[in-house]
Amino acid sequence: MSTPEPPHLQYPTDYPIKVVGRAGENVRAQADAILAAHVPDLDPALTTERLSANGNFVAVSYLIRAVSEAQVTALATDLKACRAFLMVI
C-alpha cells in the first residue's frame, strides 16, 4: 500500500517564516530587505524579533500572505543564500 501524498497548501495562505542569526549582524535589516523583494504587501505589525537568553542570537519571525508556491520557494532560496542567517525555518 502506498502512502498518501500530504495535502498541498491552498493559496493565498498565511505562511510563517523565521530567520535566526548572530546578534549584531543586522539580521533584521537583511531579512526585511529580502522579504520586501518577495512580499510587496508585507505587514510590519506581523513581524516579531526576539533576542536569545544570552544575547548571542536574534530570531525574526514573519507572517506573510503567500500567493503561490513559486513565491515561497523563491523567498526561501534567497533567505538561505544570505550568510547572515544561521537558520531559516
Query: Residue 1 has which C-alpha cell?
Result: 500500500
Instruction: Judge whether residue 89 has pLDDT over 90.
Output: yes
Report d(CA 24, CA 7) in Å as an integer.
39
> CB of 60 within 8 A of CB of 49?
yes
Q: Tell which CATH architecture fits domain 13-88.
A: 2-Layer Sandwich (3.30)
Question: What mean pLDDT is predicted for residues 66-85?
Answer: 97
> CB of 89 within 8 A of CB of 17?
yes
Confidence band (pLDDT; 50, 70, 90) for 4? confident
Position 72 scores a pLDDT of: 97
Report d(CA 71, CA 1) in Å as an integer.
34
Report domain extents, the chain.
13-88
- What percentage of residues in the chain have a pLDDT greater than 70? 96
